[in-house]
Structure 1
C-alpha cells in the first residue's frame, strides 16, 4: 500500500488531499506513480504534468527515478518560495 498526499494548489486542483493505493508491480518509482495517477482523468493529467512539481518519499525530496515500496508515503507539491 502506498499513501499519497497532495499539497497546496495541487490539492485544490485535484479536490483530493490524500489517497491510498495498493502496491502494483508497475508502480515502482515516482515517475511510474505520476503516470498511473495521470490516467485518472483530464484534471489529474493536467495537474501532474507540471514540470516543476516536486515529490517526496517518506519526507525526503525524491527524483522521478526514486524507487517506491509498499508502505511508502509519497507527497506531491508545487515549488515553495519564501522571503
Structure 2
C-alpha cells in the first residue's frame, strides 16, 4: 500500500458566536432576574433548576471534559451549562 503525501489543508473557521449564545443562556435562565421563570425552565429541561445545577456541579467535579477552559486559540471554551 502506497500512502501519498497530502499537503496540510487549513480548515476554515466558522464563527458560531458561542460567547453570545452563552450570554443569552445565562440571561434567560441563570441570573438573579432571568428572562424565563422556573416553570419555563422545568418545561424546557424536564427538571427543576436546582436539580439541574446539582447535576452540573457533580459532572464538572468528576469529569475534566465538562470543565470550562481555554481552547487552542486562547478563547474561553464552552460552558458546562
Query: Which structure shows the bigger proportion of residues in helix conformation?
Result: 2
Query: Which structure shows the bigger proportion of residues in strand conformation?
Result: 1
- TM-score grouping bracket, smaller chain normalisation: under 0.3
**Structure ID, larger Rg:** 2
- Using CA pairs under 8 Å that are at least 6 residues apart, name the structure with larger relative contact order, 1 or 2: 1
TM-score normalised by L of structure 2: 0.24
